[in-house]
Amino acid sequence: MSDFDPGIEQITVSVEGAVALVTINRPEKLNSVTPEMSHALEAFAAWANEADEVRAIVLTGAGERAFCAGSDIRTLDNYATPWEFRNRRDYCDALRELRKPVIAAVNGYALGGGLETALTCDIRIASTTATFAAPEIKLGWIGGGGMTALLANSIGASNTALMTMTGDAIDAQRALAWGLVSEVHEPKDLLPRARELAGIIASRPPIAAETAKANLTAAYNLPLAQAVAYERELQGITFATDDATEGRAAFAEKRPGVFRRR
């Protein structure tokens, strides 16, 4: 497998073992995202989905101040019409298409589209310095990358209304209490912990891990009876894989499994 080259310095990708680390690398602008950066994230998602050796992904921001401050507002006036803006390809859309499990290591500001980016990830952990906000309302619009639906699934309707209707920020401890993030760590421990979690997930049978992600998405979108039935079908599919056979054999023989994504 060849490493992925984003083609721009504002997005960096490194692969260690079965874990890809993606860094939004524009710290001087709080890691705000330009259209070119969005295209690079799209290309990464397409590459990662086909890279069998990549089994988990960590997404973070460069520097100490920000995870991602959303879209670079200065680029938004470049769209000729509101309709063109509405139909743009968004980086959150690309990240949602990742089949591999994704961990967000939120190391500072997660604002607007940056909060949506974190919400798009499967697991979110934060540093003690992290700050979360949906500030679009202060500028005259609302989030458009899944902000309200994803927040409501994470923190409930009232807390979502508080964030989206005031635009005010919450700190890491409130985010933890509300269920927006799973863990909070000191800044120096954040990325090591994210890598550790990604390594654990990458060690699991990859078809099962990707199926667990797909099943979680279905659980949010289907009525209960259909979600349970869908899960049963997915269980049957994963049970029939070579990796599941290897998992049962490894359990019986009291040894680590060797999983080949088959």
β-sheet bridge partners, residue 19: 16, 56
CA distances to 84, 93, 147 from 87, in Å: 5, 12, 17
Nearest to 101 by CA among 79, 124, 81: 124
CB atoms within 10 A of CB 94: 19
Per the annotation, the verdict on 136 as an active-site residue is yes
The residue annotated as part of the active site, out of 42, 64, 116, 253, is 116
For the chain, what is the largest distance between any 2 Cα atoms, rounded to a whole number of angstroms? 64
The span from the CA of 246 to the CA of 229, in Å, is 26
Per the annotation, the verdict on 116 as an active-site residue is yes
The residue annotated as part of the active site, out of 136, 183, 210, 253, is 136
The span from the CA of 26 to the CA of 42, in Å, is 17
The residues annotated as belonging to the active site are 116, 136
